[in-house]
Structure 1
Amino acid sequence: MPADRRRVMMLGLRGIPNVQGGVEKHVEMLAGRLTAHGWEVEVVGRRRYLPGRAPHFWNGIRVTPLWSPRMMALEAIVHTFLGVCIAALRRPDILHIHAVGPALLVPLARLMRLNVVVTHHGYDYDRQKWGGFAKSMLRTGERMGMRLAQGRIAISREIVETMGERYRVPVALVPNGVAVSRCDQATGILGEFGLTRRRYILLAARLVPEKRQIDLIRAYAKLENCGFDLVLAGGAEFVNAYEEEVRTLASRVPGVVLTGFQTGDRLAELFANAALFVLPSSHEGMPIALLEAMAYGLPVLASDIVANRQLGLPAGDYFPLGNIDALASAIAEKIASPPDEQEALAQTARVEAAYSWSSVALKTLEVYRAVTK
C-alpha cells in the first residue's frame, strides 16, 4: 500500500452493502468510487444490520460492525459516539459523518483533533416519527455539523441555500447519484408474489410515516379493479403502529402486495418490470429511489414537496401532497398512457448522464482536499 494513501472513515449509517435507507445507498456507492481514486475507506456500521460481528472487506471497503442499542431514539447517537472514539484511535485523514443526528458528535470529534466532513442528507427533524425532544436534538445536530465541521456537504441545492442563509457558512452541493443494477436473469420474485410484467405500480421505501404508503393504498383503492397490482417493497427497522396500520389496510384492499425489504437482483427485477413508480412521501432529502425508477425508464409520480420538485420533472409527474383524489386520478392517467420504448431509453440516458456516482465522488474529493490541504 502506498505510504501516501489517504484514509476516510464514514459514520452515521446502519451499514453497507444492501442495507435499507437512502444514506446507506449513498455511502455504499460513494465509498466504492473513492476506493477507485486511491482512498482507503472504512465504513463503521451498526452490528445488527450487518452479516457478521468481525470487521471484513467488501469491494475493497473495510466494513466495521459496531454495537449499538436496539432503541430508535438512541441507536444512531450511541453508535456515532463509539465510532468517533474509534476514529480518535485510528486517526483517519477524514472523518465523514452522514446526517444531522450523528452530527451532534462533531464537537467531540473536533476536540479529538479530527478532520470532520458532514453531509446533510435532509431535515430529519421534520420526520413524523420524532417527538419534540428528539427534533430539538436533531436541530442541534444540524447546527453543530454546519458550524463546527471543517467541510460541509448537502445533497440538494435547496439545503445548500438554506444552510448558507441559516448559518452563514459555505456548503458544497454534492447530489445523490444513480446506478441501475441490471438483472441478468429472472430471480423468480414476480412469480413468488403473483405479479405480471408491466401490470403493477411500485413504491420501494421503508415503512415509515413520512413515506405515506397509506396515502398510496387509499388512492389505489379508488381505482377499483384497474387491472394493476400495487407493490410496496420495504420494511421497518422497528415494530411500530404505522407498520401495523399499513399491513392492516393492505390486507383489506385487493391487489396490494407487500414484499418486505428487497435488494440486489430481486429489487432490480421489481424496478425493471413495473408499469409506474410512485413516491407519495412528505419528507425527502434527495430521493434516490425516484432517481433509480427514472433511470429504469419508468414513468413516475411524486408528491410536490420541495425535495422532489428539485429534480425538475414535468408538471404532470407531480401531485399535491396528501391529496388522495388527485393521486388516484394521476395514477389512472399514467397507467392509461404508458411511454414507448424510445421515450423510456431517452429518459434513462438523461438520468444516468445527470446523476453519475463518479461525479459525486469527484465533488466529494474536492471537499476532502480542501479540508486536508
Structure 2
Amino acid sequence: MKLRIAILGTRGIPNHYGGFEHISEYVSEGLVKKGHSVSVYNSHNHPYTRDSWNGVEIIHCYDPEYLIGTAGQFAYDFNCIMDARKRKFDVILLMGYTSSSIWGQLYPEKSVIISNMDGLEWKRSKYSKPVQKFLKYAEKLAVKHSHFYISDSRVIKTYLQNTYQIDSRYIPYGADLFSDRERNHDSENRLLKDDYFLLMARMEPENNIETILDGFNQSSSQRNFKVLGDTGNKFGKFITQKFKNDERIEFKGANFDNTAVRSLQNNSHLYFHGHSVGGTNPSLLEAMASEALIAAHDNPFNKSVLSSDAFYFNNAAEVKALVENVQWKDPERTMVKNNVQKIQQQFNWGNIIEEYEEFILKCFNTHHDEKATMDRR
C-alpha cells in the first residue's frame, strides 16, 4: 500500500535548525524510497528554495516569525494546516505540538493524524510560568486531536501512558555509523585529536551549558573547550560574556555541516552532553555513532540511551573532576564500543525508517477499519 504522507511542524528540510528537521530528512527520504508520496512543509524563508528534495515534495508556506517573533510560529503552523486541508493526504505526521495543537479542530478530517509528542516542552526552564502552563495545555490538545502518537524516548512513552492513558509507539531518532570519509574529513581536527573538549547545543539554560563551562573554567586543564551553537540569543550572549576571559573556551557558532561536526566529536577528548529535558537527542546519538567518549547530565532521558556507557555529572564540581581526571584507557574504550553497538542495533536509521513505515501503515489501516465499523452501525 502506497500512501500520500505530509510532514508538518518543522521549519523544513534539509535541516538548518534541529531535531525534528533532522529526523524529517531521513524519514521523508526513506518513505519516498519505499514508494510513498511524501510532502514536507517548509518555512517560506528556509534557505532551501526548490520544490523537491531527494524525491520529497517541498511545500513552502508563509512564516512571519522573522517579523513578529514566537507568535509567528502559530501563524506558520496555521498556514501549513490550512494548506494541508486542500490536499487530501492519507496521513499527516505532526512533529511536535507546541504551536500546532491549538489548531487541532482544523486538522484535515479525512487524514489520519499522527503526532510525535516531543520532549515535555513545558518543563523547559527557558519558559516563564505562564508559557509553561500554556505548553502543558498544548500537550493536552495534541493528545485530544491526534489519532495516534509517537514517543522518541521510553521515558516520554511512560509519561504519556501514566498521564493520559494513551499507548504511544516508541520510535527513537537514529544515526549513521562513523565512516572513513568522515574520519579523514578534517586533518586539523586529527592533528588536535584528544586535545579539546566539546559540546554542541542550543544556547538554552536547560542544556546545562553554564554548569559545564563553570566546571571547565574552574579546572586546571591545559586543553581547549570548543562550544558549537548559535550564541545570538539572550542566553548565548550571556554565556559568551561570562566566559570571555577564559582563552581556552572557543565559541565556534552553529555548524550544520554534519561531516565536520562528527569529525569534531570523534576527535574530542570528552564530549559533554548537557541536555536535561527532551527525548532521544539527535546530537547525543551522533556523538555515540562518531565514537566519542561522552559525559552526560545525570537524568533519565540520557541514562535511558547511554546506560552505564558514559560519565555523568550534576554540577560544576563534578564537571571539573571529569575534565581533570578522565583518560582514555580500556574501560573508556569499552564504553565507546558499547555505544557504537547501540547505534548498530537500536538507533539504526534503516530500522527506524522501517518502524515509521510499519507504524504509519498500521495507523492508516486501523483508523479506516474503525471508521468502517462506525459507518455500519
User: Which residue number corresponds to residue 244 of structure 1?
Assistant: 237
The structure-2 alpha-carbon separation of the partners of 1:280 and 1:21, relative to structure 1 and needing over 3 Å to count, comes to same
Who is 2:111 aligned against? 114
Structure 1 residue aligned with 2:271: 277
In structure 2, relative to structure 1, the CA distance for the partners of 1:347 and 1:212 (3 Å cut) is closer
Percent sequence identity is: 19
Structure-1 residue corresponding to 2:207 = 211
Equivalent residues, number: 361
Asked if the contact 1:103/1:118 (under 8 Å) is kept, the reply is no
Preserved contact between residue 208 and residue 243 of structure 1 (Cα < 8 Å): yes
3-state DSSP class of the match of 1:18? coil
Q: 1:24 to 1:195 in 2, by over 3 A?
A: farther
Kindly indicate whether residue 354 of structure 2 is the aligned counterpart of residue 354 of structure 1.
Answer: no
Summarize the alignment of residues 1-373 of structure 1 with structure 2, pairs less than 5 Å apart: 5-52=2-49, 55-69=50-64, 70=66, 71-105=68-102, 107-110=104-107, 112-180=109-177, 182=179, 184=181, 190=188, 196-224=192-220, 226-235=221-230, 239-262=232-255, 263-314=257-308, 317-320=311-314, 323-335=315-327, 337=329, 344-345=336-337, 347-373=339-365
Specify the SS of the correspondent of 1:257: strand
Displacement of 1:336 in angstroms is: 6.1
Is the deviation greater in 58-67 or in 288-297? 58-67
SS in 2 for 1:266: helix
- Structure-2 separation of matches of 1:359 and 1:188: 30
- The answer for the alignment partner of 2:375 in structure 1 is none
- 1:7-33, CA deviations, whole angstroms, 9 ceiling, x for partnerless residues? 111111122213121121121122222
Give the aligned partner of residue 373 of structure 2. none
Separation (CA, whole Å) in 1 of partners of 2:258 and 2:55: 18
Give structure 2 stretches of 5+ with no counterpart.
Answer: 366-377
Structure 1, residues 63-92: CA drift from partner, whole Å, max 9, x if none?
233221224422332211111111111111
Q: What is the rounded CA distance, in whole Å, between the counterparts of 2:118 and 2:206 in structure 1?
A: 15
Q: Which moved more, 1:160-169 or 1:83-92?
A: 160-169
- 2:374 aligns with none
CA separation of 1:315/1:369 partners in 2, compared to 1, >3 Å: closer, same or farther?
Answer: closer
Return the offset for 1:316.
Answer: 5.7
Report the AA paired with residue 246 of structure 1.
I
User: What TM-score, normalized by structure 1, do the two folds share?
Assistant: 0.88
Q: Judging changes above 3 Å, is the alpha-carbon distance between structure 1 residues 111 and 7 closer, same or farther for their aligned structure 2 residues? A: closer
Q: Distance in 2 between matches of 1:87 and 1:105?
A: 16
- The residue type equivalent to 1:261 in the other structure is A
Q: 1:300: Cα distance to partner?
A: 0.5
Contact 2:293 2:332 in 1 (8 A): no
Instruction: Find the aligned partners of 2:136 and 2:216 in 1 and give their Cα distance.
Output: 36
